[in-house]
Amino acid sequence: MARQLCWRQSHVIKQADGALLWQLLHARLAGSEPYRASCIAIGSSGGVLDIAEFPSCPAPPLSHTQPVSALSPAHPRPASSQQTAMGTKIIDKLNEKIAKGESFFSFEYFPPKTDEGVANLKERQMRMAALGPTFCDITWGAGGSTADVTLDVARSMQQEVGMETMMHLTCTNMPVEKLNEALHKAKESGIRNILALRGDPPKGQDHFEQVEGGFACALDLVKYIRAEHGDFFGIGVSGYPEAHPDVIVDDAEEMRRNYWSDIDYLKQKVNAGADFVVTQLFYDVDRYLQFVKDCRSRGIACPILPGVMPVMTYGGFKRMTSFCKTAVPQHIADTLEAIKGSEEAVKAYGISLGTMMCQRLLAGGAPGIHMYTLNLERSAVAILENVGLITKAGAKQPAADGQQAANGSAA
Ligand SMILES: Cc1cc2nc3c(=O)[nH]c(=O)nc-3n(C[C@H](O)[C@H](O)[C@H](O)COP(=O)(O)OP(=O)(O)OC[C@H]3O[C@@H](n4cnc5c(N)ncnc54)[C@H](O)[C@@H]3O)c2cc1C
């Protein structure tokens, strides 16, 4: 029988259970006649499904599989005709994991600059979704500079890749109408989670500006989201184990005051409705552990996820740590200084350092690991494998990051 391929879409189903799978597919495809799912290819990890749809073809038996490469898109279905599945609040997932004593992990991405980069990122996210992150997030360019791409990628992450998605949203240098639009679009895309941030000043400006009728800090945004959208969104906020870079000073006494005032301010964000905290990157694990203790001592009881950025290049590490005023333990600085001439050596060291950090974090009580992937796969996945949060058997072999980055996914 001649079969005409009409479109193809990929979904991630956590339990590759046949009956459940068909139920889910038919639920998602309801109303999409004359198309019906008729061909399923299960990726080697067992987690990513490609669904090809043919008009008027009987569904094959559940055991039917065929290689993904055998399917090719012909006529993509317009986005508007696809059903929107509502996401879940991340805090519910975190609480469930914590109650069961299960550690978890999550991946952060940023919006690529080119269409090719967006396509590459989606491919990479498909592979990474199959590893079972509890959620994934996508950053927001200060002042709304990446608004369209962030919203598009966030929608694709939630609806097509099947990752529970948290969209970052910054509120300074952003008119209220733009914030409203972003929140409404997120809602329309089934996104239930927002990382509510103040944002940095746009390029070329030293300080952020409060726009007329706008917001001065993340606390204002948390209050606004709760006031306008009630309980619909789960809200994450930033936390700074070494205090926010703006208040990091040399004077020890002033630094101590700033550190505690930052924690008190964080408490206000939580009291206003934030569900959990994601920390700024750090390389001194003791700082995170102490920060969590200090937050608990001030009554901040919600999950505080450590943000871990694997060292991938020497230049990137130097830029990031200097921008964020991150404390770098001497032994890390010395090791990197000695191997900075070899990209491969730096990457390998980044993986072993990240592994040691994550092992200590988990042993010290961190509920999970939030990976700043920089849109790359190899280091983040290797670290999570090393600490046992993902199993090698369950993971597809990541493509070399260098090659993918060259293709634009990190653009
Ligand atoms: C996990 C994480 C994700 C991020 N994602 C993005 C992103 O997607 N896009 C982007 O542009 N930037 C992002 N940033 C960077 C962030 O926007 C900057 O660090 C920005 O300078 C502060 O934003 P914030 O939400 O932490 O600010 P806030 O939490 O509002 O405040 C930052 C600091 O300012 C001081 N402060 C502010 N208001 C008060 C107050 N009322 N009382 C006392 N102290 C106050 C405190 O020191 C506080 O820690 C991220 C940062 C983190 C940690």
Q: Distance from CA of residue 6 to its chain's centroid?
A: 31
Identify whether residues 105 and 38 lie together within a single domain.
Answer: no
Distance 156 CA to ligand 1 centre (A): 26
List the pLDDT tens digit at each of the 411 positions of the chain: 323 222 333 444 433 344 344 444 544 444 343 333 433 333 323 334 444 443 433 343 333 333 333 222 333 334 444 578 899 999 999 999 999 999 999 999 999 999 999 999 999 999 999 999 999 999 999 888 899 999 999 999 999 999 999 999 999 888 899 999 999 999 999 999 999 999 987 677 777 767 777 789 999 999 999 999 999 999 999 999 999 999 999 999 999 999 999 999 999 999 999 999 999 999 999 999 999 999 999 999 999 999 999 999 999 999 999 999 999 999 999 999 999 999 999 999 999 999 999 999 999 999 999 999 999 999 999 999 999 999 865 544 444 554 444 333 433
Identify whether residues 125 and 42 lie together within a single domain.
Answer: no
Instruction: Give pLDDT, residue 82.
Output: 56
Cis, peptide link before residue 241, omega less than 30° from 0: no
Domain at 387, CATH number: 3.20.20.220
228 in a structural domain: yes
Which of 56, 81, 106 is where one domain is finished? 81
Q: How far, CA to CA in Å, does 257 sit from each of 55, 251, 260, 270, 299?
A: 67, 10, 5, 20, 18
Mutate which of 146, 198, 267, 308 for ligand 1 pocket (most atoms within 8 A of beta carbon)? 198
Identify whether residues 23 and 155 lie together within a single domain.
Answer: no
- Contact in structure between 288 and 366 (CB atoms under 8 Å): yes
Instruction: Give pLDDT, residue 393.
Output: 52
Predicted TM-score (pTM) of this structure:
0.81
147 in a structural domain: yes
Which of 20, 46, 81 is where one domain is finished? 81
Identify whether residues 58 and 200 lie together within a single domain.
Answer: no
Instruction: Give pLDDT, residue 63.
Output: 34
In this structure, which residue's CA is closest to atom 11 in ligand 1? 142
108 is catalytic: yes
Range of the domain at 12: 7-81
Q: Indicate the number of domains in the chain.
A: 2
Task: Say how far apart CA 102 and CA 118 lie, in whole Å.
Answer: 32
Identify whether residues 72 and 180 lie together within a single domain.
Answer: no
260 in a structural domain: yes
Identify whether residues 183 and 261 lie together within a single domain.
Answer: yes
Atom of ligand 1 lying closest to residue 239 CA: 53
Task: Say how far apart CA 236 and CA 367 lie, in whole Å.
Answer: 15
Instruction: Give pLDDT, residue 395.
Output: 47
Could you give the strand order of the β-sheet that contains 135-138, starting from the edge strand earlier in sequence? 304-305, 276-279, 234-239, 193-197, 165-170, 135-138, 104-109, 368-372, 307-308
Identify whether residues 74 and 106 lie together within a single domain.
Answer: no
* Ligand 1 contact via 168 beta carbon (within 6 Å): yes
Identify whether residues 106 and 77 lie together within a single domain.
Answer: no
Return phi, psi of residue 304, to 5°: -120, 105
Q: Which two tokens stand for residue 255?
A: 């630094």
Identify whether residues 226 and 331 lie together within a single domain.
Answer: yes
Set 108, 160, 242, 377: catalytic member: 108
51 in a structural domain: yes
